[in-house]
A and B are shown apart, each in its own frame.
Chain A
Amino acid sequence: MTTRWFGERVLRSEDERLLRGRGRYTDDLGEGALEGCFVRSPYAHARVVFVDVEAARRAPGVRAVYTAADLPFGEMDLPLLIPHPALTQGRTQRCLASRIVRYAGEAVAFVVAEDRYLAEDAADLVEVEYEPLPVVANLEAAAGAERLVHPDVPGNVAAELTQDAGDVEAALEASPRRRRLRLRYERGAAQPMEGRAVWARWDAGERRLTVYDSTQSPTSIRGGLAVLFDLPETSVEVIAPDVGGAFGPKIMLFYPDELLVPHAAMQLGRPVKWTEDRREHFTAVNHERAQLHEVEVGYDDEGRIQGLDVDFVHDAGAYTPYGLILPIITAAQLPGPYRVPAYRVRFRDLYTNLTPTSPYRGAGRPQACFVIERVMDSIAAELGLERAEVRRRNFIQPDQFPYDTGLSWQDGSRAVYDSGDYPRLLEECLRLLGPRPAGDNVGMGLGVYVEGTGVGPYEGAHVQVLVSGKVVASTAVPSQGQGHATVFAQVVADALGVDVADVEVHGGDTRRLQWGVGTFASRSAVMAGNAMHVAAGLVAEKAKRIASEQLEVDSADLELAGGEVRVRGTPDRAIPLSTLAVLSNPLRYAFGGGAEMATQFTPKPRQGPPLERGEQPGLEATGYYSPPGSAWASGAHAAYVHVDPDTYRLEILRYVAVHDCGRVINPLILEGQVQGGVAQGIGGAFYERLAYDEEGQLRNASFMEFLMPYSTEVPELVIGHLETPSPLNPLGVKGAGEAGVIPVGAVVASAVEDALGIPVTEMPLSPLRLFDLDRLRAGRPR
């Protein structure tokens, strides 16, 4: 096999369609469907006294109004997706709240009408009486536990978990120097440009349910719907068509609409659609990030960490559908690229009367990186050392891989770093950063991270050579803009020796491949990429088997190239894949298109049945990849920033990102992922703040007030690559989707502290916050 496409900057095959406005996002489909609209709680915590939907039911064009009492599953708690033994007080919400609402935005009723305008008119007529209850509006209130989110959950503690590796108390005791830090990270939101949407159609004759969902995991949605509606899973089809960005929160089973839309479609016998609007997206779609860390670090006079003791609380929000994944990731990733001889971490997952949390790009890692990098900077400051030097002295060294952290990982296995070269990452990053620009109020920031990517359990791919010689490859993982159709085509094209343009990739459609997990945790390239490699390899083997019989040559002497199987060294002895695809399927009837070749009297007669024992018809195969462990990507970012001393505006003068995600399939797409991730990180570090008040009301639920970066806020990055292939998978790849966002908070904190001399212990910052901090430091609080 001659590798040709892997590693090339192949332009995306998705683009032409999207650029012409021919994308198919969920709300683009299902014209003529009935449309839904939610009534949501305006209170963060309240008793529901009554819900009166009579007027709404009589409104023009209304076909149904649902409250919990109207649903066969109305009294059912939605599934707890990832149970964990430490999650002793897990709580999930119901599809529609009927007694208590626990966050502003929780769904109470669902109206279905002839169109969205009529549905919204009717939703206004739904009358709900609430009796407000005391609100737990932040982590301090949750920890104080004077008020409870769930009356039966003492202290608001959903779970508590301690892990240790080494004797931290002895290590701290023995450390020549010790320091304590208190660090805070606030809530953030992914805010993909496309909100969520669901469209469902029920075929009563065939008893078949088809659902289009702007989700990251159609296979799981399908499994859940089959159970809930008591249908054979083979009669439920779920498709994630084009998805307009997701970044984590589009994987949650279930958001209420994911049940209500199919339910209404089945009950009303008409297709039903619901499309979220931006205002409801702000409170109805999961958030992430809020944590409060108490850290004690012990180190020696050279700045080498001896012991690290971390105690943090994580803001779960009102429910814990996603289990403990976020604080577990933070806990396991906190030591990052550094050797920490003794580490203890305890976390408590606390309920608040706020929107539930689940992974958002980075998923617990931006917080972990912020904490450990703040620790590094504080050691440097204390010892008067260069910040880079402290990191150098603490790095895990290249000869220490595989490196066992002694900690348990998000899939329950041990967190063992497979490969990397952290010192080289840092040196390359500093080299690209170059000299400090002249001027006052300029600061340098630095952040190094590792990221466990490509978690299991598995992913699959189906690859088929058509009789035209073109190739169709399918996987269950959907794309939300990461260029799957291009990178997977590159992998398949290499294995089959065809042009990348001849491979058509489909993702996220359970009709094409029903087995798979989803797009999350920077896993698509690792999991589905390797599954594509396996499946295409099986197809290549099969093509050689058939060709070897036709050409009367040993399989071992054949190769796939130029769309044919040919004899090595004698390229004119060859059979096109299109012919082999025909021959792979023994026929009785010639239906044209060259099919006569495979009919019973045409090919060379041979012994035995037409279809050999154990062989299947068709030049196709399904392959799976299941990883022995996570592939650990890593990176170093550094920046020069300028902070205006009067307005506290941040200007990023230069931003360098060097990263190592193993072998790179497509540098063009990879750089796009990094640049986009950093942009999101910049937003989360300096502009975006979910401004909740004491009543649990989100005060800035619009793009007018929740400030996402425009082009003017995001510089062009200087991007460097380092490749330490993962030894764990055949392609040697590691995930890259989330990486860009992870260290940005740490970098900005480090840079702003350096520029202004204000100690930074929180994220996000903003001009106003810097003004306040500067005043505080000067002893002149506002």
Chain B
Amino acid sequence: MIVNGVERPRPGSARRLLSDYLRHDLGLTGTHVGCEHGVCGCCTVLMDGRPVRSCLMLGVQAEGHQVTTIEGLAPSNEALHPVQQAFKECHGLQCGFCTPGFVLAIAGLLAENPSPSEQEIEEGIAGNLCRCTGYASIRRAVFRAVELSGGSRPE
């Protein structure tokens, strides 16, 4: 599989979760594990551009796919991805544990639909839990990300 643009060997064991493979075999620890049962969204990564929950997949299931983790999202060491930038400007994170999952879910959403409606934004983040922020700043960050990536902001 290709992870953040780099070809990676298949997981050593068939039962290895994709989340464990990324975190512990590849050292990409920005992918977080909050529940390991598919509800919190902390482990969200992009597979072929689409958000998936890496705790619900085996590593071997990602074979032949392109995986993007939070480490691979920003274009460079200097610049952030618009969603990351928006989170920073809007205080969209506190402890930061849920953050990579939210950022990737939103990045996936905006890649598919650069000018989402308010309803589409609400749905886009409705599968991720955050226990710190109370979500208001995350919603603001999505609006800001739409702006930063050149989409038109919902009225």
Residues on A lying within 8 angstroms of B by beta carbon are 11-12, 14-16, 18-25, 27-28, 31, 116-117, 190-195, 242-245, 247, 277-278, 480-483, 668-669, 671-672, 675-680, 702-704, 708, 710-712, 714-717, 740
Contact = CB atoms under 8 A, between A and B. Distances in A.
A21 B100 contact: yes
B94 A481 contact: yes
B27 A193 contact: no
A675 B133 contact: yes
B95 interface: yes
Contacts of B24: 31
A19 B93 contact: yes
B37 to A, nearest CB: 6
Nearest to B30: A21
Given A18-B93, A31-B27, A481-B96, 11 more contacts: A11-B88, A16-B80, A18-B96, A19-B87, A21-B29, A31-B24, A191-B131, A244-B96, A278-B35, A672-B132, A716-B136
Contacts of B23: 27-28
A15 B83 CA distance: 13
A711 B34 contact: no
B152 to A, nearest CB: 21
B126 interface: yes
A710 B128 contact: yes
Contact of A244 (B31, B32, B134): B32
A21 B137 contact: no
Interface stretch (B56-64, B66-74, B109-117): B66-74
Scoring A244, A708, A714 by chain B CB atoms within 10 A of each residue's CB, the highest score goes to: A244
Interface of B: 13, 15-16, 20, 23-24, 27-37, 39-40, 42, 69-71, 74, 80, 84, 87-89, 91, 93-100, 103, 122, 125-139
B89 to A, nearest CB: 7
B136 A702 contact: no
Contact of B93 (A15, A116, A278): A15
Contacts of B70: 19-21
B136 A703 contact: no
Contacts of A680: 131, 134
Contact of A192 (B13, B39, B95): B95
Contacts of A31: 24, 27
B150 to A, nearest CB: 20
Nearest to B98: A193
A666 B99 CA distance: 21
- Tell me if B's interface is mostly helix, strand, loop or mixed: loop
A22 B30 contact: yes
A264 B152 CA distance: 56
Contacts of B127: 710
Contacts of B28: 21
Given A16-B88, A193-B131, A714-B136, A25 B32 contact: yes
A299 to B, nearest CB: 36
Given A192-B131, A278-B34, A703-B40, A21 B138 contact: no
A684 to B, nearest CB: 12
Contact of B134 (A194, A482, A668, A675): A675
Contact of A242 (B36, B89, B96, B130): B96
Contacts of A244: 32, 34, 95-97
B84 A194 contact: no
Nearest to A19: B84
Nearest to B71: A21
B133 A676 contact: yes
A710 B103 CA distance: 16
A679 B32 contact: no
Contacts of B137: 672, 675
B97 A19 contact: no
| Residue of B15, B93, B95 contacting most chain A CB atoms (<10 Å) | B95
A147 B99 CA distance: 46
Interface core residue of B35, B122, B131 (most chain A CB under 10 Å): B131
Contact of A21 (B69, B91, B139): B69
B13 A117 contact: yes
Nearest to A195: B34
B90 to A, nearest CB: 9
A242 B95 contact: yes
B129 A703 contact: yes
Contact of B35 (A668, A678, A702): A702
Given A711-B122, A711-B126, A711-B138, A243 B95 contact: yes
Contacts of A678: 134
Contact of A245 (B16, B37, B131): B131
A388 B139 CA distance: 32
Nearest to B37: A702
